[in-house]
Structure 1
């Protein structure tokens, strides 16, 4: 995986520091660092934003040419993980308690709150499946980067806790979008476009890492999270070909998710191909970057840039990949003049961390830390 240019790294660090402070020159040891409450949301923590924050720290751990110490940014990532678990893995009460079914020994057995500022109302706190799977991915990547399996074990714990709560119907063949904080009541009953795909991909990555650490003569031959993965596969087969949305963030996350299996599984190659066509249509036919910036959201476009770069990195020798990378560059260049002097608002934290990941996807990319654990091949569509 190529190293990044000094200019990209400078902008990456600046974006990360808008949330997490002077991370290159901490006044004390990284092991005692407390992440400032600047990620938005309840008590300064927001699950989606901090998941990307963790991944950005892992990227820095791998690419920074002169860190204060060899494990400096890895330690910051794990400190942020602990802070999120201590905040969003507990109730909003004073004093806070562990979420239902969680405990000090099993801190993620109750899931993790979104971190919404309000406890009630149409945009209340609760739990989102796609936020939780992104956090599972961040935990998995922390194990890959550090070689310590305990982080992936937490991802397994979280996956087992949340999975049954988001499945409904007599045959458990449909998912819901949002659950309440305690994972007891459905708050939004519609099915997210990407939720089954997120689960199918992330749970398999977590499973593969766990299986790579288990001696071959141990166990019953059935992989951890196997039943859960089969549930996601069943929903994807019921839905048919995955819909590729023209929404920038949805499109980017689709490309990112599918790129983990391109060149290996037909459904992923097909999905990335159709995603590339949507990218072309958005930029060349709809001229999406010519629209008034007042009516666009930077973080959603940065999601598209991140996904595009992940695909381009895997298919660097294909003409399509080269063309797609141009569109990622155009998104970043379009917003770059507005990133340092923009007025702060409630979207500033998520915008800044996603700007960093759009510049250097790093830990989001397959193979960034080296060879990946072998993931058993699966067929989605006949």
Structure 2
């Protein structure tokens, strides 16, 4: 059984179900995601996990070819989701010299409708984090420069004046050309995630010796003002949101320790109730695999492993990962296979999603 194999073997097996025979790197080309999981074969959330997971493989094995795979995946995503849906041109505002000035589509199969294509803030912040991980692992600043280029391009398009009476708010989805909002509210974690990830990009720029300037200072100030209005920061009982809350809480900032500590404390308490104590409404974990969504629960496990030192909670997360290692294939709808397997790999070995990996250096902290 897959759950009995060594974690690294299982990690590679899960990634192979998404990206094919990447171990034969010399002949490998980035394949379309399986089961038509994204438009023109790409989906931004899944591929962001793919990039970070390839970076993890580089750290875990010392083999540079995995960074080569990450770079090929990045280029493929930019050449697909950085272009119009018909592939005929780059998104408005972008150019060959500045390929991310037009943002990135998320890769929904449908062009319009309630589940149609667009640009999602929480997908884009995950992508720029992935680019920063690749920059550090490869020691190539251009990937962090691309991340900053994308961050500066998208930020003003998601910001809106709150009710016309001053103060700022956000929307979580905008059109593929970034010309108009497609939602009326922000995502639960959009402001705090924007802050900590943009701080990460500035920290990586300083690590590369690009001076003490903070190219994203203005954007961080706006995120911070919205974050402070949202206090106390809390996670939710949605498993993926819980996991991303804990992933965010591992970041610290010059001013952000207390709000992030609030988020982390609430997330840990919620996770304990759900996974260790099984209190109240959390009976979903007793339901059959076919009535649950693996990728959401794996997101919770990832966040717990990045943030928690609670032995009981970590053991519960390991058991949940083991469960999905054995049941994900048989119970996952075809269109969710790619996202599930990419997140299964990350939940097995968080790797570069953990700011302390591999050597205790925390570039996200300042």
Shift of 1:327: 1.9
**2:295 is the alignment partner of 1:299:** yes
Unaligned 5+ runs, structure 2 = none
Deviation per CA, 1:55-80: give whole Å up to 9, x if none: 11111111027xxxx31100000000
1:349 to 332, 338, 345: 338
Partner of 2:201: 206
Aligned counterpart for 2:174 among listed residues 166, 179, 182? 179
TM-score normalised to the size of structure 1?
0.87
Among candidates 315, 318, 322, match of residue 333 of structure 1: 322
CA-CA distance at 1:339 after TM superposition? 3.4
Partner of 1:249: 240
Counterpart of 2:17 in 1: which secondary structure? helix
- Contact kept, 8 Å, 1:89 with 1:111, in 2: the verdict is yes
Shift of 1:200: 0.9
Identify the residue that residue 273 of structure 1 maps to in structure 2.
Answer: 265
Alignment of 1:132-147 (within 5 A): 132-147=124-139
Change (3 A) 1:262 1:103: closer
What is the alpha-carbon distance in structure 2 between the residues aligned to residue 296 and residue 164 of structure 1? 36
1:51 has 2:43 as partner: no
Residues of 2 paired with 1:330 and 1:262: CA distance? 32
Q: Give 1:379's aligned residue.
A: none
Match of 1:225 in 2: 216
Q: Which moved more, 1:279-288 or 1:17-26?
A: 279-288
Contact 2:203 2:363 in 1 (8 A): yes
Larger % of helix: which? Answer: 2
Tell me the CA shift for residue 11 of structure 1: 1.0
- Asked if 2 retains the 8 angstrom alpha-carbon contact of 1:112 and 1:127, the reply is yes
Cα distance, 1:96 vs structure 2 = 1.8
Alignment deviations for residues 227-265 of structure 1 (CA, whole Å, 9 cap, x no partner): 000000000111221131000000000001111229982
Q: Give 1:122-133 correspondences, 5 Å limit.
A: 122-133=114-125
**How far apart, CA to CA, are the structure 2 residues paired with 1:15 and 1:300?**
16
- Which is further off, 186-195 or 155-164? 186-195
- Cα-to-partner distance string for 1:266-322 (whole Å, 9 max, x where unaligned): 22223211111101211321344212322210000000000000113xx4xxxxx21
Give the ranges of 4+ consecutive aligned residues of structure 1 lying more than 6 Å apart after TM superposition. none
Spell out the pairing of 1:1-382 with structure 2 (5 A cutoff).
7-26=6-25, 28-29=26-27, 33-38=28-33, 40-64=37-61, 70-93=63-86, 95-169=87-161, 170=164, 171=166, 173-214=168-209, 216=211, 222-261=213-252, 265-283=257-275, 284=277, 285=279, 286-312=282-308, 315=309, 321-341=310-330, 345-370=334-359, 371-373=361-363, 375-376=365-366
Is this contact kept in 2: 1:115–1:125, CA < 8 A?
A: yes
CA drift of 1:374 comes to: 7.0
Please, what TM-score do these two structures have when normalized by structure 2? 0.91
Alpha-carbon distance between aligned partners in 2 of 1:343 and 1:361, rounded to the nearest angstrom: 21
> Pairwise CA RMSD of aligned residues?
2.0
Where structure 1 has 5 or more consecutive residues not aligned to the other structure, the ranges are 316-320, 377-382
State the distance in 2 between where 1:289 and 1:373 align. 35
Q: State the distance in 2 between where 1:161 and 1:12 align.
A: 34
How many residues are paired up?
A: 352
Name the CA distance, whole Å, in 2 between partners of 1:282 and 1:61. Answer: 33
- The farther-off stretch of 281-290 and 194-203 is 281-290
- Answer whether contact 2:253 2:365 (CA < 8 A) is retained: no
Q: CA offsets per residue over residues 317-371 of structure 1, 9 Å max, x none?
A: xxxx212201211211222222355566101110110011010000100121432
1:353–1:134 Cα change, 3 Å: same
